[in-house]
Amino acid sequence: MTSSDIFKYIPYFIIVFTVILVVVNKDKSSLERSKILFQYSVIPTLAYFVIGHLFLTDKVRKDQGWSDDTGVITLQREIGLTTLVLFIVACVSTDYPQYVSVIYGGMLVLFGINHALISGSKNIHTIIFDIIYGVMLLYLFRI
């Protein structure tokens, strides 16, 4: 198994870990469970995507099959910066920012649909993660 394979399966670990968090904390109040999910699933996942889109740019482009032209690099940076803003708000907010999870979930579902429309099954791991995790966030953090 190469390092590329490991990165490919991290999103599946995130989904399984989130399900485990839900099950282990099922007896807690909805607010307590949401705070735990936010702290141990949403924030780390945002960090993972910030690191990928802003610092491991070549690897992400290669794994996604994206070209190295200026438009793609610009879009990738914009996705990373958008995710960075969500990450910062999630980390420094004095109130529990449940809306960050809903915005992030909605973004992921739309990103997954876009990946499916643009690349078909070529990026199946990305499509599966984006849609499943996005729907999970929308369901778990529904307002």
- Boundaries of every domain in the chain: 3-140
pLDDT the model gives residue 97: 78
Rounded to an integer, what distance in angstroms lies between the CA atom of residue 100 and that of residue 29? 20
Rounded to an integer, what distance in angstroms lies between the CA atom of residue 113 and that of residue 42? 20
pLDDT the model gives residue 3: 60
For residues 25, 26, 29, 35, the Cα torsion angle rounded to the nearest 10 degrees is: 40
Residue 19 structure tokens: 């399900």
Spatial contact of 33 and 18, defined as CB atoms under 8 Å apart: no
**Whose CA is closest to 59, among 109, 5, 13, 104?**
5
Q: Write the pLDDT tens digit of every residue in 13-44.
A: 999 999 999 999 999 998 899 899 999 999 99
* pLDDT confidence tier of residue 116, bands split at 50, 70 and 90: very high
In Å, what is the CA distance from 103 to each residue of 13, 75, 98, 100, 110? 22, 19, 9, 5, 11
* pLDDT confidence tier of residue 51, bands split at 50, 70 and 90: very high
pLDDT the model gives residue 129: 92
Rounded to an integer, what distance in angstroms lies between the CA atom of residue 90 and that of residue 56? 22
pLDDT of 94 higher than 80: no
pLDDT of 10 higher than 90: no
